Amino acid sequence: MASTVPEASKCSSVFLGKTGLTVSNLCLGTMTFGKSPFGFLQGNIDEETSCQLIDRFEDWGGYFIDTADFYGPKLSESIVGNWLQKKDRERFVIATKVRFSIDPSDPNKVGLSRRHITRAVEESLGRLQTDFIDLYQTHLWDNAVPLEETLRTLNDLVRCGKVRYLGACNLSGWQLQKWIQVQEKLGLEPVVSLQQHYSLKERASEWEAFQVCKGNGLGVLPWSPLSGGLLAGKVSRDKPPETGRLAEAAQTGGHNDGAPDWKKLQADEQLWNILDVTKRIAAKHGKSQAQVAIRWLLQKDIVASVIIGARTVQQLDSNMAVATGWALTPEEMAELDKVSQPDKPYPYSMADMFMGDRVNPFNPPLTL
């Protein structure tokens, strides 16, 4: 039986961007519930184990749960919905997503068209067994559909009460800025959050996408905070991983954002430098390297809630232990920032060359 979680160790509540909605500062990601949509992702979780994980997440004071129609496919939403029937629905913030195909036989059940969104939201509501979705997110951009069509449809969902807030996932800076410009021009419900791959190993979104978030009051929801397990401290340069996404990628030669190419990682000096620093800081605090990596994200001012996943209650307990009760020092944050800083590509590098004396206290630059 899992131990009782002390009140002082439970999740804190934070506002989701500039909205009045609060979420737990750690969010339970449910991509592994049911059957994985990705061949490289090991550790699929049955319904009984999934419900045990959500129960334990609740013990830790967590009440923000993230799923998607694509996860399972469909099974993740169904598992969350079955669990939710035994609870007070109003105590939880449920987020799901739309965009990917979950029925390849139907050419219209994909993308961000009015046809697909209006059907997908009804099906998600049915699987979740609820009459509203707290945060409805576009899972990816859709080049095939005019943005106005997508945003007017999402606006209708909020106006009729099926959805409370709108979020986006996996967007570039220009895509997010265009969304905001169109919503303002048409007077539509705003996007309030951006769910993005963000970690000590993946910081490219800081260049533009997160600047847009900061300038417009969006909360960032990092996914894969350990970069597919890479930052958990369980791998070394000379020993390929034996389990999980990284092991699958190493064995098959496949890779993507959630499971990077192992051969390239072996030659990545910055990665091993990051792990050296997180190992030293972890030892100082009596924490794990994974906890240090997640805590670094929690202390970023643009981050509202960090999305974590787990296959066992023990893994979940370890991740949840970063929620509150301890913090990295400003010096440690600066050291982690420095060791993980990606090379600045053009035009950011050129701008830095000529920005030295252009400091105006009445017009401060956006910083992360």
Q: Model confidence over 41-67: pLDDT tens digits?
A: 555 899 999 999 999 999 999 999 999
Measured between alpha carbons, how far is 287 from 292 in angstroms, rounded to an integer? 7
CB 96 within 8 A of CB 68: yes
- The reported pLDDT for the residue numbered 219 is 98
Tokens 């017009």 sit at which residue?
363
Read off the amino acid at residue 213: C
Measured between alpha carbons, how far is 228 from 223 in angstroms, rounded to an integer? 10
CB neighbours (10 Å) of residue 80?
26
Average pLDDT value for the chain: 92
- The reported pLDDT for the residue numbered 340 is 98
CB 139 within 8 A of CB 70: yes
**Tens of pLDDT, residues 214-240:** 999 999 999 999 998 999 988 887 777
Q: Is 120 left (phi over 0), alpha (psi -120 to 50) or beta?
A: alpha
CB 322 within 8 A of CB 236: no
Measured between alpha carbons, how far is 267 from 256 in angstroms, rounded to an integer? 17
Tokens 């699929």 sit at which residue?
44
Pick from 211, 173, 180: nearest CA to 302: 211
Measured between alpha carbons, how far is 297 from 205 in angstroms, rounded to an integer? 13
Task: Give this prediction's pTM.
Answer: 0.93
Measured between alpha carbons, how far is 178 from 147 in angstroms, rounded to an integer? 9
Question: Which residue of the set 71, 136, 165, 198 is catalytic?
Answer: 71
Q: 3-state DSSP: the chain helix, strand, coil percent, rounded to 5?
A: 40, 15, 45
Question: Percentage of residues in the chain with pLDDT exceeding 70?
Answer: 92
Residue 255 confidence class, pLDDT cut points 50, 70, 90? low
Residue 185 confidence class, pLDDT cut points 50, 70, 90? very high
CB 198 within 8 A of CB 168: no
Measured between alpha carbons, how far is 307 from 303 in angstroms, rounded to an integer? 10
- The reported pLDDT for the residue numbered 237 is 78
Structure tokens at 133: 């979705």
CB 76 within 8 A of CB 34: yes
**Interhelix angle 114-128/147-159, nearest 10 degrees:** 40
What are 96's strand-pairing partners? 136
DSSP 117-172: HHHHHHHHHHHHT-S-EEEEEE-S--TTS-HHHHHHHHHHHHHTTSEEEEEEES--
Measured between alpha carbons, how far is 93 from 14 in angstroms, rounded to an integer? 12
Measured between alpha carbons, how far is 137 from 139 in angstroms, rounded to an integer? 6
Q: Identify whether 136 is a catalytic site residue.
A: no
**Tens of pLDDT, residues 270-288:** 999 999 999 999 999 999 9
What are 164's strand-pairing partners? none
Q: What's the rounded mean pLDDT across residues 291-312?
A: 97
